[in-house]
Amino acid sequence: MARLEGKVAMVTGAASGIGRASALRFAEDGAAVMCADRDLAGAQHTAALVAERGGSAAALELDVIDSAAVEAALRQTSSELGGLHIVFNNAGVGGGGLGWDKVIAINQTGVYNGLYHGCRMLAESGGGVVVSTASIAGLVALIGVTTDPLNMEYGNGAYQASKGAVVQLTRQFAVSFAKHNVRVNAVAPGYIYTPMTQPMRDVEGAEQFLANLHPMGRLGQPEEIANAAAFLASDEASFITGVTLPVDGGYTAR
């Protein structure tokens, strides 16, 4: 039996990158998947890719900043797909040029909304799993593409602060909901080949510079984050909660 057989998952930020790869992986492992994103067309395309591969998926438009909309999306997932067992809070932005308030709203408050409503709903239905996307930036200070602190990809610190908050929220919700059979974990990607990192990688010499920051000497693939998220969502991780798992080619081990 596939390790997520009979499960229903909602994945936010599912229109591209890590979210799309995770929706595909969850479905490959047997889950029915609700693909949620502000980009509805992108989410629908992800759902179509799942269907092409023989899986079950649906899509909905979601802005994770809106707490009521997040709750409604979770309830729609449950009613439309026949339950709710896994919530993957993956939606996020990189921070470059967006400003403090916007980055915090999406990356921190958005994840909080998914944790708050997701944990409560899972507890009410007997348990489940919440996984969130943190970052190496929530664990260590980043080295920028340039040495100019006014011209760094995450120069205002909002991205780092938001991802550090995800790490701590993961711990707190894990402890608060452990007795309700809800496990709460996070993944902390290194630099990954996604649309989010494309502007950085487009800078001359930056891709090799970023690759060299990882002891493994390369950037990661979205599927490698999806694999970790699927593991944490599965019963194979049944005694793991409150953990932020670096998937970073050794970046945080230096």
Is residue 127 in a domain? yes
The reported pLDDT for the residue numbered 23 is 99
Q: Which is nearest to 130 in space by CA: 189, 77, 88?
A: 88
The average pLDDT across 99-108 equals: 95
- Cα 186 to chain centroid distance, Å, stands at 8
Higher pLDDT, 116 or 141: 116
- Cα 190 to chain centroid distance, Å, stands at 13
In the DSSP assignment, the letter for residue 205 is T
The average pLDDT across 96-121 equals: 95
- Of the residues 112, 154, 159, 191, which is catalytic? 159
| Alpha-carbon distances of 90 from 19, 148, 152, 209, rounded to whole Å | 6, 30, 23, 26
Is residue 237 in a domain? yes
Which percentage of the chain shows pLDDT scores above 70?
A: 94
Is residue 132 in a domain? yes
76-105: string of b/e by CB count within 10 Å (b at 16+)? bbbeebeebbbbbbbbbbbbbebeeeebbb
Domain CATH code at residue 66: 3.40.50.720
Q: How many CB atoms lie within 10 A of CB 28?
A: 18
Is residue 202 in a domain? no
For the chain, the domain total comes to: 1
Is residue 128 in a domain? yes
The reported pLDDT for the residue numbered 204 is 86
Q: Which domain holds residue 184?
A: 8-142+155-196+222-242
Answer yes or no: are the C-beta atoms of 189 and 133 closer than 8 Å: yes
Express each pLDDT in 86-96 by its tens digit.
Answer: 999 999 998 77
Task: State the Cα–Cα distance between residues 63 and 39, nearest whole angstrom.
Answer: 9
Does pLDDT of 148 surpass 60?
Answer: no
Is residue 29 in a domain? yes
Express each pLDDT in 156-199 by its tens digit.
Answer: 689 999 999 999 999 999 999 999 999 999 999 999 999 888 88
Is residue 214 in a domain? no
Tell if the pTM clears 0.85, that is, is over it.
yes
Q: Which is nearest to 89 in space by CA: 192, 2, 166, 183?
A: 166
In the DSSP assignment, the letter for residue 107 is I
Q: Is 154 an annotated catalytic residue?
A: no
| Alpha-carbon distances of 146 from 14, 17, 46, 151, rounded to whole Å | 30, 25, 35, 7
Is residue 208 in a domain? no
Q: Biggest alpha carbon distance in the chain?
A: 52
